[in-house]
Amino acid sequence: MGTGFTPAAIKLESENPCYICVIGGPGSGKTTQSRFIYELFDFVHISTGQILRQAVAAQKLSNWENVQKRMNEGKSIDSDIVLKLLRDAIDRQKEKHIVMDGFPINEENFEAWNMNIKEKLDAIFYFEITEDEMKKRLLKRNERDDDNEISVRERIRTFNYETKPLIEYFRNKGKVTIFDGMKTKEELNAELKAEIMKRKLYK
Compute the average pLDDT of residues 181-191.
95
Domain range annotation of the chain: 18-199
Mean pLDDT to the nearest integer, 107-126:
94
Instruction: Name the band, by pLDDT with cuts 50, 70 and 90, for residue 55.
Output: very high
Q: Which residues touch 168 (CB under 8 Å, ≥6 apart)?
A: none
Residue 69 CA to residue 82 CA, distance in Å, equals: 15
Per-residue pLDDT, 9: 44
| pTM for the full predicted model | 0.88
What does residue 151 show for φ and ψ, rounded to 5 degrees? -65, -40
CATH number of the 18-199 domain: 3.40.50.300
Q: Provide the residue count of the chain.
A: 203
For the cut 60, the answer to whether the pLDDT of residue 169 exceeds it is: yes
Q: What is the mean pLDDT of the chain?
A: 89
pLDDT, position 45: 96
Q: For 7-20, what is each residue's pLDDT tens digit?
A: 344 444 446 889 99
pLDDT(68) > 60: yes
Instruction: Find out whether 29 and 188 touch, Cβ atoms under 8 Å.
Output: yes
